[in-house]
Structures are given as structure tokens and as C-alpha cells.
Amino acid sequence: MFQQRLTRVATVVAMAALVGACDDAPTSPDEDQPTIANYVASISAVETPGEMRARPIPRPASGGPAISVDGHVTIVNGGTTTVNVTSPTPFQTLYVAGSYPTSRLFVPVSGYFEIPLPAPATSADLLITFPQALASNEFNLHFSAADPAGRVGMPAERSYHAIVVGSGDVQVTVAWDTDADVDLHVVDPGGSEIYWANRQSPSGGQLDLDSNAACALDNVRNENIAWPAGTAPQGSYTVRVDYWSSCDASETNYTVIIHNEGETDIHHGVFSGAGDQGGAGSGVEIATFTRTTGPPAPAPREANRSLPVGPTSK
């Protein structure tokens, strides 16, 4: 009970500090203070990218939109999540700020993201991507909205927990929005297919997070395959995502993000049906990409010749 009370007090203090810091004047933050970029790599809504601002968020005003936010709060470094923002009154601009934990409470970070919408709306979906290196594994994001007249409402808060996964010159993640079992597959330049039944390739790639395996729900909804820095071989990679089982979900939305040599590529899709319980070679092809630096590519071979192909069990 004491810990719950302390957490609530810390949240209230952080929110008060966040609102108290709202001012349109530029700031010169301490170099050691984390910024919003230490926790969020990008935010977009309806294909409209957000812009990072190096100043405190706009000050709330009377009559600004009251919003609610919803979305999965377990994330991975280098991964993604989606957030749905709703309000009973129209809004046209969204703001996202952040705070990070100290020894006693959450402290606001400097800067924020501003996301303009193409037209006033009462609901909007945000796609948030996270850096491959996060400043901390626990942090809060604070969402607020402005109406077409520019009046900003009070922020709504979400607390995020990051599961630390492997990252490097090549990292591929998938995140999804239901309790389904979604599987990530990556075929490396040597033909080795990394997935739940073959978690590591000779080239060093590894599946280090496998969520909801065979519908044993863990509330993670993320999978990750990565090569440590400097080890991903040159050559062509293929990414696939398989709907192993719906686990009774009616429809599942997923997002894949590919990090390759400092570039990122994002793909979205929707699964329906019961799932295929697929093994090697299964799934929808998401993308192929090429790495031009790193160790020489291993000699090509048939992908996982000795592994089962098609439906199998976990």
C-alpha cells in the first residue's frame, strides 16, 4: 500500500512539473539530462510525421480537449507500439512529452514531439518507434491535444516498460495488438532461417524474444531477431511474419521495423483466420534487404534443409 501511494505521489509530482514547465520560450537543457529522443525515435499519425521540438510543451489552457489514451505498454528497444488517442471534442494537433525515473520520482525530459493532423478528429492512432538504446527501461509518455483554435488540454499519461533485446547493425522486430501467436522469421545471406525452432544462425543472428508461444500468453506481444554490432554478414536478408495461431483473436494488426546499417524501414499488416501453426518457410514475406558492409556472406545453402517445413508444433 505504501509503495502504491508513493508511486501515485511521484506521478502527481511529475505531472505538476510537466505542466509547470510548459512555456513557449526555448530552453538550454543540461547536457546530462535525457531528452525525448532518448526514449522516442519517431512518432507519426495517419502518415503524418511528428516533429521534435527542443523546448517545453505548450501550456494547457481552459477548454482544451480532454483525451484518453490506450495501447500496449510493454515494448522493446528498437521496436514499435501504437497508441489510440480519443476525445469527446475535436483536436487537430497532438503533443507527446516524457519523464524518466530518478531515485525518488519521475522527472520530465526536455523536448517533445508535435504531431499535426490533416483535419480535426476525435480519434487518432499514433505509431511510436523506440531507439535501439533507451536511456532507461521504465519511463512515462505524456500525451496532450490542441483543438483547431490552438487550446491545449491537460496531458494523459502512460507508463512504459521496455524488455531489453539484442540490437546491432541488423535488428528486426515485430509487434502486434492482440493475444495471438505471431512469429518472426529472418533468412540470412547464407540461407539460414531464424525463427522459433532455429533460434540462432551460424552467422550470429539470434531470436532472443518469442512471445505467446503456442498461445501461452505472456502479454509481451513482441519478437526480436538481431545480430550483434559488426557481425551481420553482407548480402541479402528476407523477413517473414507468420500467424501461428490467432489464440481466438478475431483480427491482429502487426508492425515490423527493420534496422539496417542505421536505416529503418517500417511495414504494417493485418492477420485474420485461425493461423497455420507454421514452421520453416511459413509466413507472409515482408521485405528483402541488403547489407553492404560487415563480414563476407557465408556460402549460400538451402534454408534449414534438416528442419521441418510447414505446420508443426511448438
Same domain, 248 and 285: yes
Please indicate, yes or no, if residue 71 is contained in any of the structural domains: yes
The CATH number covering residue 273 comes to 2.60.120
Q: Could you read off the pLDDT tens digit of each residue along the chain, which spans 314 residues?
A: 434 433 443 444 444 445 544 444 344 445 567 899 999 999 999 779 999 999 888 999 999 999 999 999 999 999 999 999 999 999 999 999 999 998 778 899 999 999 999 999 999 999 999 999 999 999 999 999 999 999 999 999 999 999 999 999 999 999 999 999 999 999 999 999 999 999 999 999 999 999 999 999 999 999 999 999 999 999 999 999 999 999 999 999 999 999 998 899 999 999 999 999 999 999 999 999 999 999 998 777 654 444 444 445 67
Same domain, 156 and 216: no
Please indicate, yes or no, if residue 41 is contained in any of the structural domains: yes
Count of structural domains, the chain: 2
Q: According to the model, what pLDDT value does residue 35 have?
A: 95
The CATH number covering residue 41 comes to 2.60.40.1930
Domain range enclosing 181: 170-291
Same domain, 270 and 156: no
Same domain, 99 and 20: yes
> What is the pTM for the complete model shown?
0.88
Same domain, 157 and 212: no
Report which of 312, 170, 167, 162 is spatially closest to residue 242, judged by C-alpha positions: 312
Same domain, 131 and 25: yes
Q: According to the model, what pLDDT value does residue 138 have?
A: 96
Please indicate, yes or no, if residue 313 is contained in any of the structural domains: no
Same domain, 127 and 260: no
Please indicate, yes or no, if residue 300 is contained in any of the structural domains: no
Q: According to the model, what pLDDT value does residue 103 have?
A: 74
Q: According to the model, what pLDDT value does residue 308 have?
A: 42
Residues with Cβ < 8 Å from 287, sequence gap 6 or more?
A: 238, 239, 256, 258, 265, 267
Indicate if the alpha-carbon torsion angle 61, 124, 268, 157 is positive or negative.
Answer: positive
Q: According to the model, what pLDDT value does residue 313 have?
A: 62
CA distances from 119 to 31, 111, 142 (A): 37, 25, 22
**Among 121, 138, 163, residue at a domain's last position:** 163
**Among 135, 163, 191, residue at a domain's last position:** 163
Same domain, 15 and 122: yes
Same domain, 95 and 153: yes
Same domain, 124 and 191: no
Please indicate, yes or no, if residue 305 is contained in any of the structural domains: no
Same domain, 103 and 43: yes
Please indicate, yes or no, if residue 309 is contained in any of the structural domains: no
Please indicate, yes or no, if residue 297 is contained in any of the structural domains: no
Please indicate, yes or no, if residue 299 is contained in any of the structural domains: no
Same domain, 153 and 185: no
Q: According to the model, what pLDDT value does residue 290 have?
A: 96
Q: According to the model, what pLDDT value does residue 46 have?
A: 77
